Amino acid sequence: MILALANQKGGVGKTTVAINLSAALAEHGYEVLLVDLDPQANASSGLGVRVAARRSLYAALCGKAPLKDLIINTPFGIDLIPSSVELAGGELELSSLPGREWRLKQVLSGIITSYDFVILDCPPSLGLLTVNALCVAKGVIIPLQCEYYALEGLSLLVKTLRRIRENLNPDLFIFGIVLTMHDVRNRLSREVAEEARKHFKWTVFETLIPRTVRLSEAPSHGIPITKYDPQGKGAQAFLSLAEEVLKRARKEKR
């Protein structure tokens, strides 16, 4: 199943969820491919990977290399298609190509059957790279940061998803909303969680991703939380989120 982490807001936890959900799914024994669609390449560096443009997703999207040549087998049981800063220019190059919304789907088509899950880490915008992700994805996972204005901008995202479903990818649906950077001691955090559940009901995953220093440290070591601090509450949260994802994925298949 192909799942995109999307929210046009930056800093809400897309990349943290993309990396650590991928790692947790791998811990559960599944074959996972993580695709870094953000020119900032945080998902790549968070797994200790830095590559030049010709080894990054940019090369595949712009027809300079086959995607399968770009796969990096990380030591964490996750395969990664890394990004590089040139992808920002790549988005512009892409915009003049016919079928520009379908490039990612096209280049992924040869390899997706080798994986149980393909996780797409989107940039913080609703531009062409995110649209490419939403055209190949089946489900969207929306991270919501438990802070002021968490729900602001969500209606734009939901509207965009609807438009993509109507015009480009009829299979697309909201797979789940994940509450990130949750602090149990913080009243606001609890209120945002309550509010989200009131509006989006079962769509919101039960698992709350806690705000922990460990989760913010792990990427600077290039290691997912499941390996960096396996006993900590961050790792435990992502293992439990992965279980919920697996449960929903099974239901979806039936």
Q: Which residues of the shown chain bind ligand ADP in the complex (CB under 6 A)?
A: 10-16, 42, 124, 180-181, 209, 211-212, 215-216, 219
Give the number of residues in contact with Mg ion, rule: CB under 5 A: 3
CB of 180 to Mg ion, least distance (A): 12
Name the residue whose CB lies closest to Mg ion.
Answer: 15
**Cα distance between residue 23 and residue 77, in whole Å:** 7
145 in contact with Mg ion (CB under 5 A) = no
Build a one-symbol-per-residue string for 31-60: x at contacts with Mg ion by CB under 5 A, - elsewhere: -----------x------------------
Q: Does 15 bind Mg ion (CB under 5 A)?
A: yes
Residue with Cβ nearer Mg ion (14 or 248): 14
In the list Mg ion, ligand ADP, none, the entry touching 181 (Cβ below 5 to 8 angstroms by class) is ligand ADP
Question: Out of ligand ADP, Mg ion, none, which partner does residue 110 contact, by CB within 5 to 8 A per kind?
Answer: none
* Binding-site ranges for Mg ion (CB under 5 A): 14-15, 42
